Structure 1
Amino acid sequence: MPLPRLLENKLRLPVIAAPMFLASGPDLVVETCKAGALGTFPALNQRTTQGYDDWLQEIATRLAGHPDAAPFGVNLIVHKTNSRLQADLERTVAHKVPVVITSLGAVREVVDAVHSYGGVVLHDVISRRHAEKAAEAGVDGIVAVSAGAGGHGGTISPFALVAEIASFFPGVIALSGAISTGAQIAAALMMGADLAYIGTRFIATQESMVDADFKQMLLDSNASDIIYTPNISGIPANFLRASIVAAGLDPDNLPAHGNMQVESEAKAWKNYWSAGQGVGSILDLPSTGDLCGRLVGEYRDAIRRLVDGGRLEMNGTKRGNIAIVSGAVTCPR
C-alpha cells in the first residue's frame, strides 16, 4: 500500500535500519537518514530518559542541516518491566519523533499519544495473533519479524507471515529476516512488503556502536553459526554461537532463563551478541553511507533483471513501492 504521508517520497531506499540494542546510536541514525533510508534507535540504548532526550535533540539538530534526509524513528519497549516507558513516551511526544516502533506490547494509549502530533507507529510481531492485536491497537504499520531475523526473531517463513498479515491488515508492512542485499530488498517488496527492515547488516558498519570484536565475528560467521534460544533473555532470540562460547557457556546446554526483565537486558546482550542468519552475506565494514549507496544500486539492478528477463511486466504501473515507467526502474524517491 502507499506509505504514510510522513514517509511518502522521503525514502531513496525502501528500508528501515532496525533499532538494534546497544548498536544503534546518533551516528548510525543520522548517516542512514542522510543516505535516504529510515534510521532508528532504541530509547533504552541510553541509560536514562534524560540521555534519551539528549539523543533526540542531537539527531534532530544534525538532520536539520540536511533537508533531503529521510525521517528518523525510535523504538519503545512496551513491556510491563520497562519502568521508563511513560517518561520516554513523554519525551517522544515532546520532540514529535516522526516514527515510533513499539515492541513487546501493542497498546492503544501509546499509539494515540504518537498520533496526537501526527507521528507514525509501527509494531513488530512474530505471528498473526500478535499482528491482529497490533491492528486492533490502531498501528499504522506492522513489522513482520520472520525466521532468521536477529534479535527477538520469529520462526515463521517470510512468505507465510507477510501473506497472512496482508490478508487482513491494510496498513504498511515491513519485512525483517536475514535481509542483507539490495536484491533481497527487492524480493521483500515483490512478496508483498512495503519496506525492508534490516538489522545485522547495519551492525557491520563504521558507525554502529558495537566493539571491533563483534564486527569481526560478523565477518567470520555464516547462518550455521546462529543459535536461536530463549535462555539468554527469557524470550527466544538469535545469537552468535561464538559469542556464547567466548562468554564461557556451552551453546547446546544453556541454563534456563526466567521471565524477561527489561532492566537486566543490557547485561545479557553486552556479553552475548545477537545477529540474524544473513551474516553470511556480510563481507566488509563500510560506512553507512557507502552501504546504503550499494544497496540502492543492487536494488535497482535486481528490478532491472526482472524487467529485462521478461518476468516483470509493469510498464506505466506501480506495485507497492516499485515503479516501472516505460522500462525505467525508479526507487520510491
Structure 2
Amino acid sequence: MTGSDIKAIFGRFPSSRVGVIGDFAVDLYFDLKTKTGESSIETGLDVFWGSRPRASLGAAGNVVQNLAALGIANIHVIGCIGDDLFGREMQHLFSTLGVDTTYLQVVSAWDTCLYTKPTVNDQETNRIDFGTGNCLTDEQFESILAGLELLLPNLDVLIINQQFANPLLPVGRMQLLNNLIFRFPNVRFLADMRDTGTQVYGSTLKVNTAELARFLAVPHPSHPDLDWCIQQGTTFQKRLNGPLLITRGPAGILFLDETGYHTVNGLMLTGPLDTVGAGDTVVATWAACLGAGTPPQEALLLANLAAAVTVQKLNQTGTANLSELLEQYKTHYVHD
C-alpha cells in the first residue's frame, strides 16, 4: 500500500452512511489544583481549583468523533441522553460535527453519562462519574429500536457499542437487536461489547485479548503471542459464526473470518503514550473501511496507523485524520 492508495480509500469515506447505537458519554477534562491555601467559609473544607475545562465525546461518542475525523460525512446516532446540562453539551458536540441526532432520544429519568477526568501535574486522578446508575425501561428501549428499524435501510454500516455497567444493550435485549440484524443483510454490522459480546450475531466483533480470554473463560497470558490469539480467536470466531477483530495492544491487530486470518504488526512508538480510546479509533476506522469496501489487509493497516496516532495524544480522547495517518505511514513504512 502506498500513500496514494491511502488517499484513494479516504476518498471513498465521505459517501459511507454509518450509524452508531449504544452508550454515549461526555468526557470532561480539566486541570486540578488541590493545594490552594483556600478554605470554604461555609464548610471549612479545602477548596480545589479547576482550570482549562474541555469537553469531548466519550464512549460510543468517541467512535462518532473518530468517524468524523476520518471524513465520514453521514453519521447517525441511536440511543438516549438526559434532559440535563451534560445532555445539552453532548447535543452541541454532535451538532458541531454535523451528526444526525434524529434517533437520539431525550429521556427525563436518564442522567447523561459524564466522565470527569481531572489531571494534577499532567497525571489523571480520581474521576467523578455521572449517569452510572441509569436504567432504561423496556418501553423506552423498544421506542429506540423502532427508530433504528427506520434508519437501517439507509445505512451501510452500523456500529453497536456497549461500555456502561448499566448499558443500553444488556443481555436481555440483544435478541431483539439480533432480530433486526438478520432482517438487513445489506448492512455491515460491527460490535464492540465489553460484557455482551457473546450475545451478538451476524456482526464483526471487536475484542482485545483480555476480553477474548474472558469470553472464552480461559487464562489470559501476560504477553499473548500471535499463535495464542489465532488459536483462541479461531475458537471464538466459530462460536460466534461471524468475523472477529482482535486488538493486541502494541503487538498489532488480528482479523479472522471463515476464510482464515489477516494480521498487522504494531508500530514502534517512542515517548509517553495514552491508550484511552484507541480501541474506539480502531472500531471507527474499520467501520469506515467496511463502508468503503476496503479489503481486510488494507483496513488493518489503516486501523493500526490510526491507533498509533491517537495513543500519542495525551490527556485527551484522541482522533486521527488523513494527514496524521499519512505522517505515521511515512515515518514507519517509507524509507529513503
TM-score norm. by structure 2 comes to: 0.32
Higher fraction of strand? 2
TM-score norm. by structure 1 comes to: 0.32
